[in-house]
Amino acid sequence: MPLTVLSDADVRSLLLSLNREEIIELQESLGEALHEYSTGTQETTGCCSANQPQRIAIPAPNDRTTLFMPASTSTSRGMKIVSLNVAPTPPSDPAASTTSPASARGSVASYTPSIASTASSGSALSRNSTVSSHSSQQTPITPSSPSVSFSNLSLKPTESSIPSTESTRPIGSLTLLTPSGTPYALLSAEELTAFRTALASTLIFTKRTHVHSITVFGAGKQAYWHIRLALLLKGTSIHHIDIVNRSFSRAKDLMKEIHTCESWNTLRHDKLKISILSAEYGEYSRLLKDHVRKADVLFLCTPSTSPLFPAELLTSSEGRKKGRYISAIGSYRPHMAELHPDILRQAVAPEHKHHHHRHAHREGVIIVDSLEACMKEAGEVKQAGLGPEQLVEVGELIMVKKAVMKEVEMGGEGEKGLRRWLESGNVVYKSVGLG
């Protein structure tokens, strides 16, 4: 049997060539695999959770961690080995951390490029270049720069966060073998990991009926693939994408690629407006509130050790009026958290039949990729004190009709209520990663 070896550049090239139909086909395959993972048995399927050993984390030099992630199907075996930087465990209880950017002195940049239609040759987009600053120092804009407007404040970043100059990318490899143990593929895992995570994160996203505004926290590969898949799957229905990142320069690099690279030509459209909110410039707390509140979808793609925004932005009566899909995939260890635990606690609280304010529908559960893994490693789940009965695996919900019976048993409305929740209610998805 030949051995296929693909570098990260090879993998990236293949993934960028995928069109919408191919993405949907891959999503359906992943959904079926996750459904078998959640509901199958060792007698019926090789993908069941009983056949998937838990990953192992081993400390490595220079504040790095190496993860060993085995996987098994009825036709193959696999082992992904990746190494990445992790933020140090804070000395105090992470659950007690309630400091929000709004309470700190901070700075952010608001970055809103003006989008024009591309020529048929795929040349770069035309842009207006203007700068306004409340500081005495002007920032020059080169002809190749997107248009920028910003004002200075100051923001105190979380000290336990990973500096943007350090790599949080999972660098490593994926080895695939036949059931008899013969290797048939060796793939670079960096690009593939980000793509696969975004593919799973957008499984529920595709069911949403109203997606005009998306806020993305982070500007790395995870953010890149979440934005790309969102545009592939929802197209021109998306009008606003706000990127929130502590580093302006890294977010600007992502913006530049979206605006100028030929691989994005078919995804850009005239109504799409994209902005950057950075921890380096601007009225951070006010703009952060605006971005979170207006979002139909929140993609959280950072290895944060503290909540990315104050809980009350979503838990207050005003914050609860709108249904949102929130996908938190960046933190993956018990001391890490992108969402404040109060947001999860409210999501699983019993629904009151009578209240004075109109709130979006919720189902009383958090969707996870793996119940066992999230109970063990998801910081948000542990800090919120949630139990396994308050979590449901995404594999159980992918096939809606198969999930209806469980929803009825929980006192819900059956298929009608479940569909309404997935399509327009407040849905929180938490993932720590599966092999």
DSSP-assigned beta bridge partners for residue 172: 82
Residue 94 has pLDDT above 90, yes or no: no
- How many helices (H) and strands (E) the chain has is answered by 13, 15
Within 203-304, strands assigned E span: 213-217, 240-245, 273-278, 297-300
More confident residue, 138 or 304: 304
SS3 217: strand
Stated length of the chain: 435
CA distance readout (Å), 110 to 208, 254, 290, 299, 304: 28, 15, 12, 18, 21
Task: For residue 121, give both structure tokens.
Answer: 């040759």
pLDDT at 397: 83
Q: Which of 54-58, 152-156, 178-182, 210-214 is modeled with the greatest confidence?
A: 210-214
pLDDT at 51: 83
Task: For residue 122, give both structure tokens.
Answer: 């795929």
Q: Are 366 and 378 in contact (CB under 8 A)?
A: no
pLDDT at 97: 40
Task: For residue 340, give both structure tokens.
Answer: 């404040």
Least trusted range by pLDDT, from 88-102, 152-166, 183-197, 399-413: 152-166
Percent of the chain exceeding pLDDT 70 equals: 74
pLDDT at 328: 97
Residue 355 has pLDDT above 50, yes or no: no
More confident residue, 70 or 87: 70
More confident residue, 119 or 334: 334
Task: For residue 240, give both structure tokens.
Answer: 């606003």
Calpha distance 29→72 (Å, rounded): 15
Residue 267 has phi, psi (to 5 degrees) of -100, -25
pLDDT at 167: 52
* Residue 137: band (very low, low, confident or very high) from pLDDT cuts 50, 70, 90: very low
Q: Are 161 and 87 in contact (CB under 8 A)?
A: yes
Render pLDDT for 376-388 as a digit per residue (tens, 0 to 9).
Answer: 999 999 999 999 9
Render pLDDT for 2-59 as a digit per residue (tens, 0 to 9).
Answer: 999 999 999 999 999 999 999 999 999 999 889 888 887 777 777 888 888 888 989 8
pLDDT, average across residues 126-151: 31
- pTM of the predicted model as reported, rounded to 2 decimal places: 0.80
pLDDT at 407: 55
Residue 135 has pLDDT above 60, yes or no: no
Residue 164 has pLDDT above 90, yes or no: no
More confident residue, 198 or 166: 198
Calpha distance 401→414 (Å, rounded): 9
pLDDT at 313: 96
Render pLDDT for 290-323 as a digit per residue (tens, 0 to 9).
Answer: 999 999 999 999 999 999 999 999 999 999 999 9
Percent of the chain exceeding pLDDT 90 equals: 57
pLDDT at 99: 38
pLDDT at 40: 79
Render pLDDT for 217-252 as a digit per residue (tens, 0 to 9).
Answer: 999 999 999 999 999 999 999 999 999 999 899 999
Calpha distance 298→326 (Å, rounded): 5
pLDDT, average across residues 243-269: 94
